[in-house]
Amino acid sequence: MKNLFEYSLKELQEKLHNKEITISDLVDASYNRINEVEDQVKAFLTLDEENARKQAKELDGKLSAAESLLFGMPIGIKDNIVTKGLRTTCASQFLSNFNDPLYDATVVQKLQEKNTVTIGKLNMDEFAMGSSTENSSYQNTRNPWNLDYVPGGSSGGSAAAVAAEEVFFSLGSDTGGSIRQPAAYCGVVGLKPTYGLVSRFGLVAFASSLDQIGPITRSVEDNAHLLQAIVGHDKMDSTSANVEIPDYSESLKDGVKGLRIGVPKEYLGEGVSEEVKASVKEALKKFEELGATWEEVSLPHSKYGIATYYLLASSEASANLARFDGVRYGVRAENSDNMIDMFKNSRAQGFGEEVKRRIMLGTFALSSGYYDAYYKKAQKVRTLIKQDFEKVFEDYDLIVGPTTPTPAFKIGEETDDPLTMYANDILTIPVNLAGVPGISLPCGLSSNGLPIGLQIIGKHFDEPTIYKAAYAYEQATDHHKKRPQLGGAK
């Protein structure tokens, strides 16, 4: 019998209904694999095995009533998405005591309505601040393709768990590329939806105008099914968009004939490795063979994306993380002489270095005398970046380029150089600033056997066209069929 992780959602549901397998078998497959490789990959912070196995047994008896393709499917949840009764830490010591949240995030509620089985909570950069998952205060997650390398971040645990076949799919969050970049590094499919398409209620906020929850899967089709389950207007989220929701799998197989693709010259310029450029150019040739056309375009203000992003995201983080003070939220420092000392000590002890760095930068940018010079100016540049996308989308259906400038880097290689670390998100950040959707899917391997990601960007709420193009490319190639052989240093 084939490894269960090699089947699609549709195939697994068919097997369930034919009584070839049970939901308990699927949950067993997840935990057996976790027992086999988790000490190497370190993707999970918390497992919920007792509840998962109990739920699987209950669902085995309800199988005939299954309506969703997600029925009974094991899933991993990024640890900044609140889960009722299940520890949620944001990979921070500050929330190490948040063992029993009182509610579920909206996306978790929606998945429960589809009867998915939560396997556990996945590692991440602390409060989603990072590009390698090395900023977790608990452990370093490793890339399943080579354990010496990072899985990307901040959703590194979410991508690594899917790549290592510990779960069938997972949820991540994307503020500046935190779904797409780890998806590229780990050779899986990750979508950052249009801002507002998926509710942020229950997502612990980093930068509220940029954060978006999205799906990470092994295939484009499974990604579309998972997105379908979590989208929709939510009255609990004031930024939730009240738009008509299409069937994302309906036009999946329509092909790309006549599709117009723009390729930003800035996305294949300086800093992008030759291997990545070659893989993207091969992908563009494949799109031509499939009937699409492409031309070089320009997104001139994207070069200001990193500076703009880190000013705006840090400013919003400074405001959002003010609630973590040891009183309202978080672990309280012991032995403080007074309330002010207690605040200071709690934050000093609870937050890691990267979180402190961004809070300080954001507080500075918002402070009197600097607000206009930094924060306000960054908002103006953000508008210019958004207008660049709008201008290109007047003539083109999609924008295509690499997800990251290079494949994954070695653990510890960039931890002492924050600016180099920030540059890993140079190709994903503009998408968040503009609020448009983008997907990453595998398009090749580097000379040292690490995945390379192709990024496809669409118009606001035009996820169907992104999926259509991604699916056509995926079916015409075999990059998504390649699996990591867990190796490298333990």
Residue type, 308: T
Token representation of residue 403: 């997800």
Q: Backbone dihedral region of 330: left (phi > 0), alpha (psi from -120 to 50 degrees) or beta?
A: left
Q: How does 216-227 read in b/e, with b if 16+ C-beta sit within 10 Å?
A: bbbbbbbbbbbb
Beta-carbon contacts of residue 168 (< 8 Å; ≥ 6 apart): 5, 9, 12, 26, 30, 73, 74, 75, 162, 217, 218, 222
CB atoms within 10 A of CB 267: 25
**CA distances from residue 210 to 255, 429, 484 in whole angstroms, order as listed:** 31, 9, 32
Q: How does 147-161 read in b/e, with b if 16+ C-beta sit within 10 Å?
A: bbbbbbbbbbbbbbb
8 Å CB contact between 431 and 438: yes
8 Å CB contact between 424 and 404: yes
CB atoms within 10 A of CB 376: 12
Which position among 30, 131, 136, 154 bears the catalytic label? 154
Token representation of residue 306: 């990193």
Work out the angle between the directed axes of helices 106-113 and 220-230 (0-180°, nearest 10). 110
**Alpha carbon 160 to its chain's center:** 11
Work out the angle between the directed axes of helices 9-17 and 220-230 (0-180°, nearest 10). 80
8 Å CB contact between 454 and 333: no
Residue type, 259: L
Beta-carbon contacts of residue 464 (< 8 Å; ≥ 6 apart): 246, 248, 250, 251
Which position among 78, 110, 114, 468 bears the catalytic label? 78
Which position among 131, 137, 178, 302 bears the catalytic label? 178
Beta-carbon contacts of residue 197 (< 8 Å; ≥ 6 apart): 212, 231, 241, 243, 437, 461, 463
Known catalytic membership, residue 154 = yes
Token representation of residue 460: 């606001």
Which residues does the annotation mark as catalytic? 78, 154, 178
